[in-house]
A and B are shown apart, each in its own frame.
Chain A
Amino acid sequence: MTDSSAPQDAVVIERSFDAPPVLIWQMWTVPEHFKAWYGPDGVTVPVAKMDVRAGGSRLVCLEMDTPAGLRRMWFTGEYLEVVQNQRLVYTESMSDENGNVLSPSDLGMPPGHPATTEVIVELQDLGGRTKMVLTHTGIPADSPGAAGWAMAFRKLGAHLQAHGAR
C-alpha cells in the first residue's frame, strides 16, 4: 500500500491485468508490443531497441506532432536486473539518437531534473491474472543501492507521518 500523502522519492503504481505474467513481460520487452502502449496520447514510438539482459542497453524514441513539426526525443538506458516474467529494472536518461546521454539542462529541462532515473517493474502471478507494480525513482542510479533507498525512503516517510512531522 502506498499513502499518497507521505513523502515519496518515487512514483509507485500498482495495476492488475487480466493476462498472465508472460504476456505482461512481453509488453515491456518485445519492441512491437512496447511501441503499442508506451507513448501517451499523441505520442508514437518509432524506435525501441532493447537488449534485454543485465548490462544490455536500450534506446527508445518518442515522437510527437507539435505545431512546430514533428519532435523526437530519445531515451537510453541500461538493464540492471532481468528476471523473466517477474522483475525488470532499467535506467533511463535523455540522449541523442545514438544513445549518447545528454544532461537535462542541455535539453532545457529544469536543473532539478535528475539526469538518470530508474524504473522497476515487478510482476506477480495471480493465476492467469497479473499484479504489476511500477516504481519510477529519481534518485540517481549511480548512488549505491538506489532501489533499496526507495524502500527506506518510504519507511522514513511513514515514520515521519506517524510522528506528526510535516
Chain B
Amino acid sequence: MIDEDRLSETFAALASSTRRAILARLAQGEANVNELAGPFDVTLPTISKHIKVLELAGLVVRSQRAQYRPCALDPAPLEEISAWAEQYRPVWEARFDRMGDYLTRLRSQQRTDEHDD
C-alpha cells in the first residue's frame, strides 16, 4: 500500500538538484553536514535546510549517537516512488501489444494493396 501523502513529500524533496546530489553522496555512505556541504558553494545553514527537507520526507535519518550527527540515506521512500511508477507498466504494455497488432495489420494491408497494383 502506497502512502500517498508521503509519496507527495518524496516527489517534492526530490525536486531540487542540490538535494538529489546530497542523496547521491549519501548512497556512498554516512556523512556529516560539513562533508555534505563540501562540493556546494552554499552556506552550512542552507545545506542544513536541505537536509531537514530530506529528513521530513524520510529519505535521510540523522544519528543521535555522536555530536556531529552523521546523516544516512533511507531508501524506503524511493521504493514507494518505484511502486507508483510500476502502476503505469501494465497500461503501457497493453498499448504496445496493440501497437504491434496494428503494425501487423498495416503491413498486411500494404501487401494486399501492392498486389492490387
Chain A positions within 8 Å of B, measured between CB atoms, are 6-11, 13, 15, 17-19, 23, 27, 33, 36-41, 110-114, 132, 134, 136-140, 142-145, 149, 152-153, 156-157, 159-160, 163, 165-166
Contacts and interface: CB of A to CB of B under 8 A. Distances in A.
Main secondary structure of the interface of A (DSSP, over half): loop
A165 B76 CA distance: 10
A97 B97 CA distance: 28
B17 A114 contact: no
B103 interface: yes
B93 interface: yes
Contacts of A159: 27-28
Contacts of A9: 14, 78, 81-82, 85
Contact of B94 (A40, A111, A136): A40
B35 interface: no
A41 B73 CA distance: 41
Nearest to A40: B94
Given A37-B95, A145-B17, A160-B75, A112 B103 contact: no
Contacts of A38: 95
Contacts of A39: 95, 98
Given A8-B82, A136-B92, 8 more contacts: A7-B79, A7-B81, A9-B78, A11-B88, A37-B102, A113-B4, A140-B11, A143-B16
Q: Interface on chain B toward A: helix, strand, loop, or mixed SS?
A: helix
Contact of A156 (B27, B86, B94): B27
Contacts of A144: 17
Contacts of B102: 27, 33, 36-37
B85 A156 contact: no
B15 A18 contact: no
A157 B78 contact: yes
A37 B28 CA distance: 43
B27 A136 contact: no
Contacts of A134: 92, 96
Nearest to A18: B103
Nearest to B10: A112
B20 interface: yes
Given A7-B78, A160-B27, A37 B7 contact: no
A103 to B, nearest CB: 12
Interface in B1-32: 2-8, 11, 14-17, 20, 23-24, 27-28
Contacts of A143: 14-17
A139 to B, nearest CB: 6
